[in-house]
Amino acid sequence: MSHDQEVSREMQNAFVDGQLDAADWTALVQRMGQDEALRCQVCKLRTLKDMVKGAYADARPRRTALPANRRGWALVAGLALVFALAGWLVHDATERTGAVELHGIAARGLVVHLASSRGEVVDTALQEVEDYLHEARAAGRKVHVEIVANQTGLDILRAGKSRYAKRLEELRAKYPNLTYIACHQTADRLRENGVQVKLLPGVRYATTALDEIVRRMQQGWVYIRA
């Protein structure tokens, strides 16, 4: 950094953020010793940085711990045994492919988590759930499937909003062992923003989607994220 060069904004930012190497840092400090305007600019940047940090110092989460904390996540997983582990594996596969694959999962219950209302996600999830229930019935297996929706996924369970109302009703009429759960926290958030939330007939609320998922896992159900 020569004396003739103007010190760029990027360089000034890097200085206040501690991102300069020793040589550049030293050169900039020397330069500031002779350049009052530069010193003033850097001082303002430092002040700005402190202001941003201070503005969020009292931001605290409403929730203080994961629900599983009550008994410990290891215990939750322990109770779920192989099924829970299978759930996480399915979960991982889902994250990679963006599609659920329920075929062949042997468990007494599946909790399918829908956090998105994107058509491809919902279509795939509902199709996989239907295939799974059909397969279980044909094999004489007693299973229960619960679709838990939160975030934008809640939209599929909302009366007057869901594009899937008819399909969901048909599925439930065909398979009484299929239930739909809505996240109360998400609904509350929508209401706080002035959105009216009315659920489809037969849909139940859980305090939060996570509470419900953990509760089901404690009962040995497999968790699938759609």
* Residue that has been written with the tokens 């008819």 in this structure: 166
Single residue of 7, 128, 225, 226 touching other proteins by CB under 8 A: 225
**222-225 and 204-206 beta bridge pairing:** unpaired
Task: Restricting to residues 144-203, name those near other proteins by CB under 8 A.
Answer: 150-153, 185-186, 188-189, 192
Q: How far is the CB of 208 from other proteins (least distance, A)?
A: 7
- Distances in whole angstroms, Cα of residue 135 to Cα of each of 37, 48, 88, 99, 101: 75, 61, 22, 18, 13
- Of 129 and 186, CB closest to other proteins: 186
- List the one residue out of 186, 135, 136, 137 whose CA is nearest residue 158: 186
- Does residue 5 touch other proteins according to CB under 8 A? no
Residue type, 104: G
Residue type, 217: M
- Of 50 and 131, CB closest to other proteins: 50
**Tokens standing for residue 129:** 């759930």
- Does residue 65 touch other proteins according to CB under 8 A? yes
Rounded Cα distance between 72 and 86, Å, is 19
Rounded Cα distance between 142 and 103, Å, is 15
Question: Running DSSP on this structure, what letter comes out for residue 221?
Answer: P
- Does residue 74 touch other proteins according to CB under 8 A? yes
- Of 84 and 136, CB closest to other proteins: 84
Q: How far is the CB of 51 from other proteins (least distance, A)?
A: 5
- Does residue 109 touch other proteins according to CB under 8 A? no
Q: Which positions touch other proteins (CB under 8 A)? A: 9-10, 13-14, 17, 19, 44-45, 47-49, 51-66, 68-69, 72-74, 76-78, 80-81, 84-85, 88, 91-92, 95, 115-118, 150-153, 185-186, 188-189, 192, 208-210, 213, 225
